[in-house]
Amino acid sequence: MRFLLSKFVGTLLVPPGLWVVFALLVGVVSLRRGSRRGAVAAWVFAGFLYLGNTHLVEHLLLAPLERAFPVWDGGGGVRYVVVLGGGAQAGTPAGDVPGVVTLARLWGGLRYARMLGVPLVLAGGSVWDEGKSEGEMMADLVRELGWEEVVVEGESRTTWENARNTARMVGRGPVLLVTSAYHMQRAVWCFRAQGVEVIPAPVDFRDERPAHWIFYLGISAEAARDVQAALREYVGMVWYRVAYGAGLP
């Protein structure tokens, strides 16, 4: 327990935990200066800041998204493995390269393509209309790894465009759809709305099952990232329901 507590305290000594401590101190200073409202505001802000960076809130938001579809357990009958890009890093010393989310998705997709012996469809455009698309970056990487059966869809910038453009290439499928687990619900809906038969193959799982409950009380930049990703996904699902139809789960 002492070790776990030391880990918990350690999360408060670096951002984002440090900002929580700072907000608490601002509240103390405000109270000592006679500003009760200022103190309450600072402490409420600290509370929201703390909760928004905890693994508990990360779990509560991610779990419903990631458990919508199980891990793919194999089976043939698909014509393509479709991998959706998840971002890129532009202007690095190594040039434009796939981001970590894209790499996680690509690794899973490449494994499945090799397992099934079918082509990879790599979907993802360029946000700024400059340089290589995410699809091209992914294709370069898998070719370096020895896989040549690649089809690139390099014009899409949203999940809806991923599905629309890919549907023109693969027809009605069936395809094995690979994306991050938290993103799979929206992706499946988009592809099915285009008339493509998809088999979900979620990867890049982020929701963890800790060995001890105290893990949920800890805060980290990783938890903050996942909370942001989950919230963005919920907002995206609502927006897609409004923009493209009411069939979104």
86 & 158 share domain: yes
Total domains, the chain? 2
Polymer length in residues for the chain: 249
35 & 123 share domain: no
User: Considering the entire predicted model, what is its pTM?
Assistant: 0.86
Taking phi first (over 0 means left), then psi (-120 to 50 degrees means alpha), and beta for anything else, what does residue 181 get? alpha
62 & 84 share domain: no
11 & 58 share domain: yes
What's the helix, strand, coil split of the chain in %, to 5? 55, 15, 30
61 & 85 share domain: no
Domain that holds residue 237: 2-66+219-244
Instruction: Print burial letters for 197-226: b (CB count within 10 Å at least 16), e (below 16).
Output: bbbbbbbbebbeeeeeeebbebbbeebbeb
75: in domain: no
The pLDDT tens digits of the residues spanning 96-137 come to 788 999 999 999 999 999 999 999 999 999 866 677 899 999
C-alpha to C-alpha distance for 216 and 63, rounded to whole angstroms: 13
The pLDDT tens digits of the residues spanning 27-75 come to 888 888 888 888 899 889 988 988 888 889 999 999 999 999 999 988 7
C-alpha to C-alpha distance for 73 and 126, rounded to whole angstroms: 32
